[in-house]
Amino acid sequence: MNTDKWVLVHADCVLEESSSGDFCEGEKINAGEASEEVVESWLAITWRRFYRNKVAVVSLILFFGIILVAILAPIISPYDPNQTVGAFDAGPTAQNIMGTDDVGRDLLSRLIYGSRVSLIVGVGSVFIYAVIGITLGLLSGYLGGTVDSVIMRITEVFMAYPHFMIIMVIVSMIGPNMLTVMLVMGFMGWPPICRLVRGEVLKVKSMDYIASAIVTGYSSRTIVAKHILPNVMSPILVNATFGIASAILMEASLSFLGMGVQPPTASWGNMLTSAQSLTVLSEQPWRWIPPGVAVLVSVLDINFLGD
């Protein structure tokens, strides 16, 4: 089927890269070097290119800021996110600087704790599908033949279901909570990365240095792990970064619909659920604007980072 079509969905900068040309240089330069040096110089080149770009540096700092907030949540949040600490539905005051919700919980504390949910689900699900996708993609691309066509048929079946809808149905069937959201997103999300890796492997496989590695007598495992994997790392990393952004969006959307992380656990998505009522929407903007902005800013930040 249209292999490249699906690859391009997630790594949407591939086209731009190939047109500007500078992205591929690094890979080509270090392609022939010994394996240890490949990893090092790849990191070094990435870092140098990264440092030159101010937007990327700012995004990185902001990203670490979000991670820091998530880690330090118990220390920096003024109250327990699940305890009634003030008046109901109160706007911002000196005690609760972002106001309280319908049962008097402090919204700032809930917002801070919500960052944990977003990051854990975002990074966790991408990690799961990256592991599955990379493994199957390497197998498919390197072995070819029957293994390849079986894996490709499976990816077609997975990709024929509308992504958001099928995740929503599965999560709500097996019982929505943070863990199931993460797992289902992880197990449903691997086909694009699998196709991406397979395509890259096919490209790398035809290079001379792979042929020479085979002639030298390296085992398939060594060739895949030390020669092929490092060379397909860049597109995987870009794909995974965008993947985290869309995973955070998806978790928030599921929780918003009440089919993701369940209250009382605070998630940016389920904090907005109440805004489906017109009273909350029109009269208590402090209840739904901050978590919405939080999702927007972190997703925007990670998208910039990936770019």
Nearer Cβ to other proteins, position 111 or 138? 111
**Region for 99 from its dihedrals, namely left if φ exceeds 0, alpha if ψ lies in -120 to 50, beta otherwise:** left
Nearer Cβ to other proteins, position 26 or 292? 292
Which of 139, 127, 253, 234 lies closest to 190, judged by CA? 127
The least CB distance from residue 98 to other proteins, in Å, is 16
The least CB distance from residue 160 to other proteins, in Å, is 5
Residue 170, C-beta contacts closer than 8 angstroms, at least 6 positions apart: 184, 188
Nearer Cβ to other proteins, position 169 or 225? 169
Residue 277 in tokens: 């009522």
Nearer Cβ to other proteins, position 75 or 157? 157
Q: Are 141 and 197 in contact (CB under 8 A)?
A: yes
The least CB distance from residue 253 to other proteins, in Å, is 5
Nearer Cβ to other proteins, position 138 or 196? 196
The least CB distance from residue 203 to other proteins, in Å, is 18
Q: For residue 137, what are the CA distances in angstroms to 21, 198, 243, 247? A: 25, 4, 17, 21
The least CB distance from residue 258 to other proteins, in Å, is 8
| Separation of alpha carbons 8 and 238, rounded Å | 12
The least CB distance from residue 42 to other proteins, in Å, is 24
Nearer Cβ to other proteins, position 15 or 97? 15
Q: Are 41 and 27 in contact (CB under 8 A)?
A: no
| Separation of alpha carbons 185 and 255, rounded Å | 13
Nearer Cβ to other proteins, position 109 or 155? 155
Residues that bind other proteins (CB under 8 A): 1-2, 4-6, 8-9, 12, 15-16, 18-20, 153, 156-157, 159-166, 168-170, 172-175, 245, 249, 252-253, 256-257, 259, 269, 272, 275-276, 278, 281-282, 285, 288-289, 292-293, 295-296, 299-300, 303-304, 307
The least CB distance from residue 1 to other proteins, in Å, is 7
| Separation of alpha carbons 241 and 298, rounded Å | 12
The least CB distance from residue 113 to other proteins, in Å, is 18
Nearer Cβ to other proteins, position 77 or 274? 274
